[in-house]
Amino acid sequence: MEFTAKAIAEFLGGNVEGDPEIKASTVVKIEEGRPGALSFLSNPKYSKYLYTTSSSIVLINSDFILEDKVSATLIRVDNAYESFAKLLSLVAAAKSAKQGVHAKAHVEPSASIDSSAYVGPFVYIGENTTIAKGVQIHPNAYIGNNVKIDENSTVFAGAQVTDDCVVGKNCTIHSGAIIGSDGFGFAPQADGTYQKIPQIGNVILEDNVDVGANTTIDRATMGSTIIRKGVKLDNLIQVAHNVEIGENTVIAAQSGIAGSTKIGKNCMFGGQVGVAGHITIANGVKLSAQSGVANSLKEPDEILFGSPAMNIKRFTRSFVLFKKFPEIVKEIDILKQSISKD
């Protein structure tokens, strides 16, 4: 689909500088610009490309000051990055969603599938499962028994939503993700072996949750593992049984959350963060990449780093001393030798 600069500006509430009738049919990075494409500039590091890009249209911030002439038509908006994301949503919505159940899908007779939903080839839909309006289930996905998937959610190829799990509206479950895998529960026995503890709970994804590729969310031992609305989980994340993640929390790849931990709202975790079980993390906490959390974090909006995680300011001061540790030890040894001579 093609959009004119004028139409894009009206949609975003921006102002056009240049040809309002010029059209764009694709989006590309500003440094890879080409005619007929739209790009955006929000990071100052890429400002130099604005003057050389071949893109037909570029989104820029309203307060950006030009240092030279540009050939592209500009659309000035309050926030170029947010506007670009909004525009991508428009492009995605413009793509026609598929409908209907493919002949090679297997749907149990007791399942209920809305006529506007799409079920691709080699999908399995279990007993008493409900698939709501606009849901898209791509090839080779597995949807177990007694599952509920609400309106306009998408399950990509090869993903699984196992028995009794609930998926809210506008959720996205990427390829290879498993919702409701068995929780890691084993009771140690007197002879040194482990007895499996049945995991009879489920997983609840509230509205607008995004689950990355190959991420696993374990079902609860009893009750529910709950991912609150607006949570965004990156690829390759492990969420254990009975965990609760608060609204609009974002967690980057390769992180792991151990069982029964409660994470607050609006938290941000970097990659490879590890969180121990049975603890609580306050709202707004930010954990830098590779941080390790062994105890509850009760201070809202705190920024932490390291393993064990500590306040970022304290960590920075400690790290300065740690880098000097060999010299400090050497100085101590010299002092000890001096004292012993006296």
Evaluate whether 254 touches 271 at the Cβ level (below 8 Å): yes
Does residue 278 have an active-site annotation? Answer: no
Which residue bears the tokens 């949503």?
A: 89
The residue annotated as part of the active site, out of 106, 174, 241, 278, is 241
Which residues fall within 8 angstroms of residue 79, CB to CB, at 6 or more apart? 42, 61
Measured distance CA(233)–CA(341) in Å, rounded? 62
Measured distance CA(66)–CA(84) in Å, rounded? 20
Which residues fall within 8 angstroms of residue 156, CB to CB, at 6 or more apart? 138, 141, 172, 173, 174, 175, 177, 213
Measured distance CA(270)–CA(57) in Å, rounded? 34
Q: Residue 145: what residue type?
A: N
Residue 216's DSSP bridge partners are 178, 238
Residue 24's DSSP bridge partners are 3
Evaluate whether 155 touches 139 at the Cβ level (below 8 Å): no
Measured distance CA(2)–CA(5) in Å, rounded? 10
Q: Residue 276: what residue type?
A: A
Measured distance CA(69)–CA(49) in Å, rounded? 12
Annotated catalytic residues are 241
